[in-house]
Structure 1
Amino acid sequence: MNDLEPVATVEEALRGNGISVESLSSGPPLSLTYLTAFPGVEPNRGEVGRAVTAFLELARDGEWEPTSVDATILRSDDDVQATWRLEADWVRAYNRYELDDVELSERVLDSLDKEAEP
């Protein structure tokens, strides 16, 4: 496996969950920038959830070794709507059934920062 394969796998999974990936770098942390389909004032929680789900499924299936994710949501080029974070430890705890859906969602949503700069 070369260095591009894990990033390509993650990008494919995100796109499969309806996330419009603009850029993705392996990090750590993994850095994700995507264009939202909901360019309002508030980030769309369902869209954030779909992105998180892609990472959870990849980790569960052994296709991605969990690393922290720093995500930036764009309304358009250079117009940041918000940022959020998914910690590697949260993914591992979730996949060991130490965190449930609600707890994981709360942690990710608590990391939302609408004042973020690119």
Structure 2
Amino acid sequence: MSDQRPIGTVLENRLMGEGVYVTDCERRGDDLVLEYEVVTETPAITSHEVGTVVRTVLAVADEREGWEPGGLEATSTTTDGAVRGTWRVEGDWFRRLHDDLSEVEFSERVLGTVDLAGDGQQVQ
């Protein structure tokens, strides 16, 4: 039996167990726009949090008949609401993953989109 709850609710429930707390989730056309907060002392987005979110989105897409993530735009904030940065996954990258785009290439592309709120820090 498939889970028919809204995608945002499913992601919120799954990510909470990973220390990622969804504060907003909406569809904009084919894209999923996600805002989340993390409880960490690290001021910048980490590759671990990006990986956690992407793996969760992919798992939900695999389990949910008839749903594909399209693109993903993510904003990471602190618990105080300060933006830690943004990152994205192009819909084409999701579609090509495991076809002509390896997991390594996919990860490199996604991590290459991380914008750390203009402070010049590198993804950790």
TM-score norm. by structure 2 comes to 0.76
User: What is the alpha-carbon distance in structure 1 between the residues aligned to residue 94 and residue 46 of structure 2?
Assistant: 21
Equivalent residue, structure 2, for 1:101 = 103
User: What is the alpha-carbon distance in structure 1 between the residues aligned to residue 49 and residue 95 of structure 2?
Assistant: 21
Question: What is the identity, as a one-letter code, of the residue corresponding to 1:31?
Answer: V
- 2:45 aligns to what SS in structure 1? coil
Aligned positions, number: 113
Equivalent residue, structure 1, for 2:20 = 19
Whether the 8 Å CA contact 1:31–1:69 is kept in 2: the answer is yes
Residues 1:85 and 1:4: Cα distance change in structure 2 (over 3 Å): same
Whether the 8 Å CA contact 1:74–1:82 is kept in 2: the answer is yes
- 1:26 aligns to what SS in structure 2? strand
Structure 1 segments of 4+ aligned residues over 6 angstroms from their partners: none
RMSD: 2.2
How far has the Cα of 1:17 moved from its partner? 4.0
Aligned match of 2:90 in 84, 87, 90? 87
Higher helix share: 1
**Aligned residue runs from structure 1 range 53-64, under 5 A:** 53-63=55-65, 64=67
| Fraction of identical pairs, as percent | 34
Q: Which has more radius of gyration?
A: 2
How far has the Cα of 1:78 moved from its partner? 3.0
User: What is the alpha-carbon distance in structure 1 between the residues aligned to residue 57 and residue 86 of structure 2?
Assistant: 16
Contiguous gaps of at least 5 residues in structure 1: none
- Work out whether 1:47 is the aligned partner of 2:52: no
How far has the Cα of 1:74 moved from its partner? 0.4
Equivalent residue, structure 1, for 2:121 = none
Q: Which moved more, 1:47-56 or 1:4-13?
A: 4-13
Residues 1:42 and 1:6: Cα distance change in structure 2 (over 3 Å): closer
**Residue deviations 1:5-45, cap 9 Å, x none?**
23323333333444211111122332111112334232121
TM-score norm. by structure 1 comes to 0.79
Q: Which moved more, 1:100-109 or 1:6-15?
A: 6-15
